[in-house]
Amino acid sequence: MKYYVGIDLGGTNIVAGVVNEKYEIVSKAKTPTNRPRSAKEICLDMAKMALEAIEKAGLKVTDIESVGVGAPGSVNSDTGVISYSNNLDFHDAPVADYIREVIDLPVYVENDANAAAYGEFVAGSAKGTKDAVCITLGTGVGGGIIIGGKIYSGFNYAGAEIGHTVIEVDGPQCSCGRKGCFEVYSSATGLIRMTKEALVANPDSKMHEMMDGDHVSGRLAFNAMRAGDEAAKGVVDKYIKYLAAGIANTINIFQPEVLCIGGGVCNEGDALLVPLKKLISKEIYAHAGENTKIVIASLGNDAGIIGAAFLGLQK
C-alpha cells in the first residue's frame, strides 16, 4: 500500500492527513494557523502536523511517497512558492523548501481551490471524467478547473478565479477591487448580505422571528421561504438567479463533463438544485444530446486534503 500526505492550509486551521492509494484518509492532525505569523513559522507547523499524522497512522516518513499542500493565494506549482496570499500575508514564500527542511520528501504546493477540485476529480463527484470544474460557495467563490486530467491554472498560476468574473457591471463592490463579481452575489457572504437587505426592507417578514438573536445565517432565507415567507422567497430566487448566471457562463466557456458545486448552501438540496438546474438549462449555449452534469461535491472538507495528497500525480 502506498501512502501520501495532504495538507490543507487555511486562514483558521492547518489540517494534515495521511491518505492511502485508495484515496482513504487514515489519520489526521490539526492545529490553529495562528495568524499573523511568518511564512516559515506556519510552514514549520505544517511539517509538524504532517509528522504527527504519519505517527498517528503508525507509519514512518520513509513510508510516505510525497507531501502536498493546498493553500490560498497565487501559487507557483512548479517551484512550490506562494507568490501572494492576502489571507496569510505571504509574499514569495518558498513553502516547499521550508517543509523539505523538516521532511525529506518531494513536496508539491497548489492553490487550495485547485487542490479541492483535484480531490473531487480523483475520488469524488468528478471521478472518471477528463474535464471538470468545481465551484465552492463559501466566504468567497472558489474555482478549480481540470482539463484533460490536469489542473488548469494559466501561464502565471493565477487562473480559475471564477468568482472574480463580473456578472453585473457596476454591481456591489468586491474585495478584489472590481464591482459586480460572481462572488459578490453567489458566495455565502453574498447570500447573507442580500438577506440583511431584505430584513431592512421587510420589517414584517418571518425572517425576523426566525433569526438566532442578531445573527443572520445563510440558511435563514431558505428556512423562512419554506415557512411561506414571500420576502425570503425573493432572496432565494435572486440568489439562485445570479448563481445560475455564473455557472452558465462557466459551462459555456469550458463545457466540462461535470460541474461540482460545494459549500454549506448545497445542504439546501432540492430547494437549491431544482430551480438552479432549470435556470441553467435555459442559459447554456450547447443543446446537444449530452450536456454538463451538475452535481453536489461529495468529499466536503476532505477534498482539499485528498487533492493535495495526490498533487505529485500532476508532475
* Domain ranges, ordered by start, for the chain: 3-122+302-314, 128-296
pLDDT attached to residue 139: 85
Q: Who wins on pLDDT, 139 or 109?
A: 109
- Grid cell, residue 299, equals 468529499
DSSP H or E run through 31: strand 25-32
Q: Answer yes or no: CATH 3.30.420.40 is held by domain 128-296.
A: yes
Q: Band of the pLDDT at 87, cuts 50, 70, 90? A: confident
**pTM, two decimal places:** 0.90
Among candidates 237, 252, 242, 246, which has minimal Cα distance to 284? Answer: 252
- Grid cell, residue 149, equals 486530467
Q: Where are the alpha helices (DSSP H) in the chain?
A: 39-56, 95-100, 112-123, 182-186, 188-201, 207-210, 220-226, 230-254, 270-283, 302-309
Burial class (CB in 10 A: 0-12, 13-18, 19+), 223: middle
Q: What is the distance between the alpha carbons of residues 55 and 59, in angstroms, rounded to a whole number?
A: 6
Q: What is the distance between the alpha carbons of residues 12 and 15, in angstroms, rounded to a whole number?
A: 10
What topology is assigned to 3-122+302-314 in CATH? Nucleotidyltransferase; domain 5 (3.30.420)
Q: Residue 32 pLDDT > 90, yes or no?
A: yes
Q: Are the beta carbons of 32 and 9 closer than 8 angstroms? A: no
Q: Residue 260 pLDDT > 90, yes or no?
A: yes
Q: Who wins on pLDDT, 72 or 68?
A: 68
Among candidates 309, 308, 277, which has minimal Cα distance to 293? Answer: 277
pLDDT attached to residue 138: 87
pLDDT attached to residue 17: 98
Strand 64-71 versus strand 107-111 pairing type: parallel
Q: Residue 234 pLDDT > 70, yes or no?
A: yes
Q: Who wins on pLDDT, 280 or 290?
A: 280
Average pLDDT over residues 105-116: 96
pLDDT attached to residue 176: 86
What rounded mean pLDDT belongs to the chain? 94
Q: Band of the pLDDT at 286, cuts 50, 70, 90? A: confident
Q: Band of the pLDDT at 289, cuts 50, 70, 90? A: low
